[in-house]
Amino acid sequence: MTSPVWHPFTQHGLNEPIPHVVRAQGALLHLADGGTLIDAISSWWVTTHGHCHPRIAAAIAAQAEQLDQLIFAGYTHDPAETVARGLIDLAPRGEGQPELRHVFYSDSGSTAVEVALKMALGYWHNLALDGLAKARSRILVLEHSYHGDTIGAMSIGERGVYNAAWQPLLFDVGTVPFPTPVHEQACLDALDAACADKPAAFIVEPLILGAGGMLIYPAWVLREMAAICRRHGVLFIADEVMTGWGRTGTLFACEQAGVVPDIMAVAKGITGGAIPLAATLATAPIFDAHRSTDRARLFYHSSSYTANAIACAAAVANLAIWREEDVLGRTAALAQGIATRLERLAGHPAFANPRQLGTIAAIDLVAADAGYLSDLAPRLRAFFLERGILIRPLGNTIYLMPPYCLDDDQLDHIFLALAAAGDHFG
């Protein structure tokens, strides 16, 4: 019987293999046919500590028996309070910069970004009600960005074949060129010029653009971007959905630039990747602009499952792991293991542009037809599946973003397969 399931980002007409996973542990997925796959991209960048981490699994089980779900409009529970305090403790800090002090929950990276946009516009809207500023609505974005697939998140992302059908629903944004090497200043100058028109906010993926091609830019550029925004009074939003939770070598990527954003979106690894949860952190001015005795100014956003107690309990366990275990030691060792192997692979004539930030590594396959609509990425995916590896290339860019528990043998196996892909497709 054919499956009724409609998969995301999947062309069912191509009849690509859809592995059926029955169990997972650490970096390993166990298949219904008895095979295994090494999860080299942490199941879309979420399972930071590995699958079914015992501390997180136990927290979920215990919470499911105590309090599962609670309406969060005007009610609260311990796990949500604990996570919010933990996030505030761990959030980026910087001298002379405002602190992230308030936490708004949602359920995915896309919704955390939508909330960030709504907070930014709500801030200006409410200041305007008080006659303290003119309302602002324009959002500035960085070229090649990806922030999710809801309407607002798509609007602020790169436009292309993947959102062409919905262009009429997307709002207009100002696009700042990506700071490619040697052209960093052009990017900063463009941002400076665009800020002069008084946009509401500028949103960035800090240090590395993920789905846009694993494009890395330096910390000093991020620092300058934030400084330009602050100088112009434009809100600076960091989308740490992919970069958060140790992925780039620090808990949050903004730390490497000493930047504290006005608004920060986090998701994915917030629960160690076990269950959906997201949060948008905001500074006091953003919260205070919504806090009043006037019901017209409250923050009109919610979903049924906001701050689901089971998801929050998983996040409590994740925060405990971060507090009590040397997670950054683990990511540093893994990053080193990746670096030595990537350096060797870089000599392969089929590859170009090796790059790495923390435990994210990417390399481009030099191929004739590498466009988004070419069949190269699905063929590569199938090639790696046959070798027991879950990798999902972005066009001709093959990237790794493994769980931090990946061991050396698994890493060797992945890099042997990468070299074989070079031989086969190059």
Q: How far is the CB of 423 from ligand PLP (least distance, A)?
A: 30
Any bridge partners for residue 202, and if so which? 140, 236
Candidates 122, 179, 210, 246; binder of ligand PLP (CB under 6 A) is: 210
In the DSSP assignment, the letter for residue 284 is H
Q: How far is the CB of 60 from ligand PLP (least distance, A)?
A: 18
Helix 184-195 and helix 219-232, axial crossing angle in degrees, nearest 10:
20
Candidates 39, 158, 205, 364; binder of ligand PLP (CB under 6 A) is: 205
Closest to ligand PLP by CB, 184 or 239: 239
Q: How far apart are CA 377 and CA 369, in angstroms?
A: 10
Binding site, annotated residues for substrate: 44, 146, 268, 302, 392
Query: Is 158 a residue that touches ligand PLP (CB under 6 A)?
Result: no
Binding site, annotated residues for pyridoxal 5'-phosphate: 109-110, 239, 303-304
Which residue is it, tokens 């602009």?
289
Q: How far is the CB of 298 from ligand PLP (least distance, A)?
A: 25
Structure tokens at 376: 């190269």
The three state secondary structure string of 175-228 is EECCCCCCCHHHHHHHHHHHHCCCCCEEEECCCEECCCCCEECCHHHHHHHHHH
Q: Considering only residues 112-141, where is the footprint of ligand PLP by CB under 6 A?
A: 113
Query: Is 147 a residue that touches ligand PLP (CB under 6 A)?
Result: yes
Candidates 211, 317, 319, 418; binder of ligand PLP (CB under 6 A) is: 211
Among 98, 346, 104, CA closest to 233: 98
By the 8 A CB rule, do 69 and 254 touch? no
Taking residues 249 to 288 in sequence order and writing x for each that binds ligand PLP by CB under 6 A, - otherwise, the string is ------------------x---------------------
Q: How far is the CB of 247 from ligand PLP (least distance, A)?
A: 10
Report CA-CA distances (Å) from 13 to 1, 6, 10, 17. 16, 11, 9, 11
Q: Which residues bind ligand PLP (CB under 6 A)?
A: 108-110, 113, 146-148, 205, 210-211, 239, 241-242, 267
